[in-house]
Amino acid sequence: MPNRTLLIAGNWKMNNDVAEAAKLADELAQALPEVPAGVEVLVCPPTIDITTVHDRIQAAPIALGAQNVYWEAKGAFTGESSCDMLKSAGCTYCIIGHSERRDYFHETDEDQNKKAKALVAAGLVPVFCCGESLEVREAGTYVEHVVNQVKAGLEGLEITCPKQVVVAYEPIWA
């Protein structure tokens, strides 16, 4: 596809302490001194590891992302990180809408929309996750379900180029 970039992303989830993250980032940077044109590599470590990973991949062609963000710029939101905080730590991407956040933390499509708008406004790229459960898949309503997630999550975004948002289809049952 013309003007498309293949994004290869790794979500480290809640794995790797700081020392392990540093070692893994060093290994990735060594293994990937360059990537082919039209390919981008992205790693999304836990928040506590972001600055450590950033320092180790700076010279490598590896982008850095966060696993979550809060849409407010500042305030009493214990445990959350703002877009500006993520940018200052070296992030250019942020995962939103992940099934684990939706399920375990009861995040809604409206929450994802607020996050997406805040990220785009800050110049960060949301990696918008969407997907269906096995129950929805077996009921045959998965296309409608995923389309509704994407519409609600990205509604009202002012996108001027396709590289401002990544949509990651990740069915929960897979």
Residues marked as catalytic = 98, 170
Contact yes or no for 98/129 (Cβ under 8 A): yes
- Contacts by 52-59 with C-beta closer than 8 Å and gap 24+? 52/18, 52/21, 52/22, 52/25, 53/21, 53/22, 53/25, 54/89, 54/90, 54/91, 56/22, 56/25, 56/26, 56/29, 57/25, 57/28, 57/29, 58/90, 59/29
For 57, left (φ over 0), alpha (ψ -120 to 50), or beta?
Answer: alpha
Q: Are 120 and 158 in contact (CB under 8 A)?
A: yes
3-state secondary structure of 21: helix
Q: How many residues does this entry show for the chain? A: 174
